[in-house]
Amino acid sequence: MTRARSSSPYLALLTLCALALTGCMGHHNDRLYADLQNRASFDLQCPADQLELHELSRSGRLANSYGVVGCGKQATYVLNMTGRGTWVMNSGGETPGAMGAQTQPPPQ
């Protein structure tokens, strides 16, 4: 009579690996979020605690585009995943509502 091997040690190892990977992703997201706050604070010349960050899009569990508003300015940032990942301003540093506004030619 042969005895079947218990899969519980393998299941426990698989569960442990999945939890570790999930924890790393959370830490990576936290770092990226803090990096975005710091970059936007510098670009918009606005303290980080006065910024509003609005997630615009995501890929899986990772947000890859944010709109940032603060101190009367707004900007859009996209995530460039080259290397460890960095945020790049895609548009902005302008007064809300000014983006897309057309300037009128001077009267003649």
Confidence (pTM): 0.63
pLDDT at 106: 54
- For residue range 13-70, what is the model confidence (pLDDT) as tens digits? 555 444 444 444 445 678 899 999 999 999 999 999 999 999 999 988 888 999 999 9
100, pLDDT greater than 80: no
How many alpha carbons fall within 13 Å on the CB side of residue 78?
A: 5
| Residue-level pLDDT at 97 | 61
Domain locations along the chain: 13-94
How far apart CA 67 and CA 43 sit, in angstroms, is 13
